[in-house]
Structure 1
Amino acid sequence: MKIYCVPGLANDYRMFENLAPKLLSQNIEYLEHLPPQHLKESMEEYAQRLYKTIEAQKEEDAVIIGMSLGGMISVELSKLRPFTKVFLISTVKHPAEMPWQIKLARRLPLDKVRLPAWLLRSTVKPVTWMMGVTNSDGREHIKAMIDSADPQHIAWAQYAAANWQNDLIPDNYVHIHGSRDEIFPAYMVKASHFIKGGNHYMIMDRADELAQIINQELASLMGQKALPFSSMK
C-alpha cells in the first residue's frame, strides 16, 4: 500500500523519521513543500498544484498522512483523489477547530510578510517551545528543518492556514491528536484518538503510539474503498 506523507510548516520529510520506519508499509513518498505561486495562493490552489506531482500515480490502495499544516493540505488533496484512508496528526480538519489566535490572524496583512532568513533562524527557540520540545535532540531536529525552510513558503503558509476555507472533511479520516497540543488545543478538536500528554511534536517523541494506531487501520484496509465527504456547514 502506498503511503503519502505531508509535513507541516517549516518541516520536511525529517518530521516523519521516527514514525515512518514503524509503519506496516514501507512504500512511502514524501510530498515536500512547493514554492508558493504568490502569497495569497489559497490552500485549495496549492493542493491542486501539489496533486499534479502525484496525479500520474494510480495506486488503488493509497493512504495519506498529514501532520499540522500537512493535515490541512491532506484534507484538500483528499478532495482530488480517493485515498483509502486519511490520517491527520496534530492538525485541524476545519477552520472551526482553530484557536482564536489563528482566527485573529486573518485580520493581519500576512500576505505582505517577507521573512528574511536570519529572522527565520531566530525563531527556533519559540517554535520548539510552542511544539513542546524540551530536549536538546528535539531542538536540534527542529533547528535543522527551520534552517532548510524556504522563508517564502513559511510566509505563504501562515496566510493560507489563517485564511483556510473548508466545509468538507473526508468520512474516512483518522485524526490523532495530543491532549497537550500547544498549537491546536485539544478542547477545540474532534479527534478519533487522543494521545494522553501528547504535544504538537508527538509524531517524533510518541511515534510508537501513533504507529500502533495507524498500523491497526492499515491492517484492516485491504479492499476497502474511499468513502464520500461529510458537510461541515
Structure 2
Amino acid sequence: MSKIPVYFMPGLAANPLIFERIKLDDTLFEVHYLEWEIPKPKESLGDYAKRMALKIKEENPVLIGVSFGGIVVQEIAKFISVRKLIIISSVKTKFEFPGRIRFARKTLAYKLIPMRLILHFGKLAQFVFGEKFSNRMKLYDTFLSVRDIGYLNWAVEKVVLWNCTVADERVIHIHGDKDWMFPIKNIEKCIVVEGGTHVMIFTKYRWFNTHLSDIILGSSFKNSNPEVSG
C-alpha cells in the first residue's frame, strides 16, 4: 500500500522547524515540508498559491497549514485535488478575524507597521506569534527564517486583505482555546485544543501526535479537549 503524502505549511515567516515535534507513522505517511518563497512584485495570493502548488508532486495529498500557512493551503487546494485539508491556529473566512485585523483592513493601518524596526529590535517573533511571554521569544525566534522586508510586507497585507467569505467545506479546523492571534470566540466549527495558543503546533505536540493520524485517516475522533502539557 502506498504511503499517504502529507504536506506541512508553516506560519508567516516561519520555517519547518515549527513541526519538528510532530511525529506521524512513517509506514503510513510520507511527510513533506513546504517553505516560503519570496513573492514576486505585486504577486496576488492566488498566483503565489498556484506557484506553491507546483512543488507538490503527489496526487491527492493531505495539506496541513498553520496560521497564514492555513490560509495559503486553502488557496493551494483551489488548484489541486486533496485528500484532506487541515488548518491549525488559522481562519476559514475573513469573518473569523479579530476586530483589530478588520480595523487594519478598513483603515489600511497595516501599511504603517514598521517592519524594519521589528526586525532590528528582534521583535519579529512577538509580532508573528502574538505571544505575550518574553521568556519564549528566543525559542520562537529560532522558528523564523524569512526576514525579507518585501516578503513580510506582502504577507501581512495578504492576511489582512484575505477576502474569503464562504468556508471551504473540506476544511478540518484545529484551534486552541487560548489563541491570542485568532481568538476562538470568532471561530466556527473547529476541533478545540484546551490550553492551545497560537503556537500549539509546537507546545501541544503530544495532542497532535495522539490525534493527528486519526484525523487524517478519518478514523473515529472524539474531541474530548484533553489537557496536554507540551
Query: Which protein has greater RCO, CA pairs closer than 8 Å, 6+ apart?
Result: 1
Question: Are positions 1:115 and 2:115 aligned together?
Answer: yes
Quote the residue 2:58 is aligned against.
58
Quote the offset at 1:112 in angstroms: 8.0
The one of 8, 15, 19 equivalent to 2:18 is 15
> SS state of the match for residue 86, structure 2?
strand
Where does residue 228 of structure 1 map in the other structure?
none
Q: Deviation of residue 209 (structure 1)?
A: 0.8
1:83-112 Cα deviation digits (max 9, x unpaired): 110111000011010011111112326468
1:196 pairs with 194, 197, 222, which one? 194
Whether the 8 Å contact between 1:67 and 1:90 is mirrored in structure 2 is yes
User: Percent of aligned positions with the same letter in both sequences?
Assistant: 27
Task: Tell me the alpha carbon deviations over residues 136-182 of structure 1, each in whole angstroms, 9 at most, x when there is no partner.
Answer: 4x432321233653222111111000001224433232111000100
Matched residue count: 212
Would you say the 8 A contact 2:98–2:186 is kept in 1? yes
Q: In structure 2, what is the equivalent of residue 41 of structure 1?
A: 43
Q: Partner of 2:31 in structure 1?
A: 28
Give, in whole Å, the separation in 2 of the partners of 1:113 and 1:200. 21
1:128 positional shift:
7.8
Q: TM-score, normalised by structure 2?
A: 0.82
| Distance in 2 between residues matched to 1:113 and 1:120, nearest whole Å | 11
How many angstroms apart in 2 are the aligned matches of 1:159 and 1:115? 12
Instruction: Give the superposition deviation at 1:220.
Output: 3.8
- Aligned residue among 181, 185, 189 for 2:183: 185
Structure-1 separation of matches of 2:48 and 2:125: 29
Calculate the TM-score normalised by the size of structure 1: 0.81
1:121–1:6 CA distance, 2 compared to 1 (3 A): farther
Gap regions ≥5 residues in structure 1: 222-233
Contact 1:121 1:143 in 2 (8 A): no
Letter of the structure 2 residue corresponding to residue 105 of structure 1: A
* Pair 1:197–1:27, CA change in 2 (3 A): same
Find the aligned partners of 2:114 and 2:169 in 1 and give their Cα distance: 37
SS at match of 1:146: coil
Q: Distance in 1 between matches of 2:72 and 2:91?
A: 10
Alignment match, 2:223: none
Q: Would the alpha carbon gap of residues 197 and 14 (structure 1) be closer, same or farther in structure 2, given more than 3 Å must change?
A: same
RMSD: 2.5
Is contact 1:111-1:156 (8 Å) kept?
Answer: no
Task: Flag the 1:12–1:108 CA change in 2: closer, same or farther, 3 A.
Answer: same
Structure 1 position 52, deviation (Å)? 2.1
